[in-house]
């Protein structure tokens, strides 16, 4: 199986601070299921931000879906992000929008027609067993329900 992520000797950190991740190397195989674990402040979120293109490497080589993240432009970064799913700790739901609007937004951004977006949103809500909560707002959902909306 091929690798979807290749990281070689990567260093990650924030400006004017010592690197949080130092000289890390790893590969992630396509269609594999992986966990990132560690204590608070160990760099788990920092690593995910780099894989998603939200954080630049300090040093090293990082390739995701065949794209070198050191050299990626905004257009290719947007294409890459359509193939990556990350569930953030705070789920990144828009609290002023109901469940249906939160689910439909990425489909609209991706350029699908309104009819396709509506149909796909209904399927997704049924799949995550939240059709009955389509008109609820994130703060009216349990943590697990919010997580399912974020994944949809």
Cβ–Cβ < 8 Å for 69, 63: yes
Q: What is the pLDDT of residues 29-70, one digit of tens each?
A: 988 888 888 887 888 888 998 998 989 899 999 999 999 999
Instruction: State the Cα–Cα distance between residues 5 and 34, nearest whole angstrom.
Output: 12
Residue 86 has pLDDT above 90, yes or no: no
Residue 75: φ, ψ to 5°: -65, -50
Instruction: State the Cα–Cα distance between residues 73 and 111, nearest whole angstrom.
Output: 20
At residue 88 the predicted structure's pLDDT band, cuts being 50, 70 and 90, is low
Residue 143 has pLDDT above 90, yes or no: no
The topology (CATH level 3) of 3-81 is: Rossmann fold (3.40.50)
Say if pTM beats, i.e. exceeds, 0.75. no
Q: Which two tokens stand for residue 70?
A: 């050191």
| SS3 readout for 16-78 | CCCCCEEEEEEEEECCCCCCCCCCCCCCHHHHHHHHCCCCCCCEEEEEECCEECCCCCHHHHH
Q: Where in the chain is the domain with CATH 3.40.50.300?
A: 3-81
Q: What is the pLDDT of residues 98-133, one digit of tens each?
A: 999 999 998 998 889 999 999 999 999 999 999 999
- Of 6-10, 23-27, 37-41, 70-74, which gets the smallest average pLDDT? 37-41
């Amino acid at each position: 199986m091929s690798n979807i992520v290749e990281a070689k000797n990567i260093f990650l950190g924030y400006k004017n601070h010592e690197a949080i991740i130092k000289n890390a190397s790893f590969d992630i195989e396509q269609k594999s299921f992986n966990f990132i674990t560690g204590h608070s402040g160990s760099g788990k979120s920092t690593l995910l931000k780099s894989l998603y293109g939200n954080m630049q490497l300090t040093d090293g080589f990082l390739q995701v879906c065949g794209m070198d993240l050191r050299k990626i432009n905004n257009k290719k970064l947007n294409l890459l992000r359509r193939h990556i799913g990350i569930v953030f700790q705070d789920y990144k739901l828009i609290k002023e929008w109901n469940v249906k609007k939160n689910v439909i937004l990425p489909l609209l951004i991706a350029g699908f027609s309104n009819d396709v977006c509506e149909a796909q949103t209904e399927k997704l809500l049924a799949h995550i067993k939240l059709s009955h909560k389509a008109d609820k707002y994130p703060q009216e959902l349990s943590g697990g329900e919010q997580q399912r909306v974020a994944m949809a």
